Amino acid sequence: MEIRDCEEALQARIGYHFSNPALLRESLTHKSFSNEQHPGESVPHNERLEFLGDAVLDLVVSHGIFCDFPALPEGELTRIRAEVVSEKGLAAIARELRLGSCLLLGRGEERSGGREKESLVADGLEALLGAVFCDSGFDRVCSVIEALFGSAVALSASRKAGIDHKTRLQELLQARHGHPPVYVLTRTEGPDHQRLYTVEVRLDNRTIGMGQGRNKKGAEQAAACEALARMGV
C-alpha span between 15 and 18 (Å, rounded): 10
C-alpha span between 228 and 171 (Å, rounded): 11
Distances in Å between the Cα of 187 and the Cα atoms of 35, 86, 180, 192 are: 55, 35, 22, 14
Q: How many Å is the Cα radius of gyration of the chain?
A: 22
Per the CB < 8 A criterion, the answer to whether 170 and 179 are in contact is: no
Q: What share of the chain is helix, strand, coil (3-state, %, to 5)?
A: 65, 10, 25
C-alpha span between 94 and 117 (Å, rounded): 11
Find residue 188's DSSP bridge partners: 197
Other C-beta atoms closer than 10 Å to the C-beta of 194 total 8
Residue numbers annotated as active site: 54, 126
C-alpha span between 24 and 128 (Å, rounded): 7
Nearest to 93 by CA among 33, 150, 172: 150
